[in-house]
Amino acid sequence: MLLTDADGRDQPLVAAYRTPSLRNELAALTKEHGALTGLPLRRLTAALDLTRVPDPVASFDCDTWDDIATARARIREHGHVLDEWISAVKDELGIDLDVDTGVLLDLARDAAHGVARPAAPLTTFLVGYAAAQAGGGPEAVAEASRKATALALRWAEEDDGETAAGPGGTSDTRPDAG
């Protein structure tokens, strides 16, 4: 499925592709051209059997100051939706707690990038659990977030060091599971 914008232009970065089809076409393009470097993305998408779905807001350019103002307004709307969602979840769960959402989002980002993507939701869950075990409250959430963020950043630094060291570098001492 590939979204098309209000002018009918394909937006290949706003799409869902089947992995086997992509791999087959990437292999064919590599065989035909020797490499993928420098090839336009439309060469890949043209060979795929795609269902096009019109979406007037599938993409937007930021070429002018007016475009930037529109994009910023959309971002603010997104933030408003997030605030509404958090309030609704807290109401549903019977939680009356004000926490720094930005700190938790930063933690999720650091865990996703420094460890692995699935680490983001699991880490934020564990931070919430640890905060509850510590008596709850914004301070407990902040402290658990600080510790988990520091750990994620250490893991990222260790991983960067091992990558730079190459195959003969320091072995990974992290557990395989659990």
Residue 84 has pLDDT above 50, yes or no: yes
Burial class, 145, CB count within 10 angstroms (exposed 0-12 / middle 13-18 / buried 19+): buried
Strand partners, 2: 15, 52
Tell me what percent of the residues of the chain surpass a pLDDT of 70.
Answer: 84
Round to whole Å and give the CA distance between 109 and 147. Answer: 14
Residues 83 and 16 in one domain: no
Q: What is the pLDDT of residue 56?
A: 78
Residue of 157, 156, 160, 134 whose CA lies nearest to 145: 134
Count of Cβ atoms closer than 10 Å to residue 141 Cβ: 24
Residues 132 and 163 in one domain: yes
Q: What are φ and ψ of residue 168, in 5° steps?
A: -90, 5
Residues 50 and 77 in one domain: no
Which residue did the predictor score with more confidence, 63 or 133?
Answer: 133
Residues 82 and 101 in one domain: no
Which residue did the predictor score with more confidence, 61 or 118?
Answer: 118
User: Cβ distance 100 to 138 under 8 Å?
Assistant: yes
Q: What is the pLDDT of residue 175?
A: 46
Q: Which residue has the tokens 């992995």?
A: 19
Query: pTM value?
Result: 0.48
DSSP run (H or E) holding 10: strand 10-15
Model confidence band, residue 171 (pLDDT cutoffs 50, 70, 90): very low
Instruction: Please state the rounded mean pLDDT for residues 91-114.
Output: 87
Model confidence band, residue 2 (pLDDT cutoffs 50, 70, 90): confident
Question: What range does the domain containing 68 cover?
Answer: 61-96
Q: Output the six-digit token pair for 54.
A: 């019109």
Residue 69 has pLDDT above 70, yes or no: yes
Residues 135 and 167 in one domain: yes
Q: What is the pLDDT of residue 73?
A: 77
Residue 79 has pLDDT above 80, yes or no: no
Residues 173 and 128 in one domain: yes
Residues 85 and 103 in one domain: no
Model confidence band, residue 176 (pLDDT cutoffs 50, 70, 90): very low
Residues 80 and 127 in one domain: no
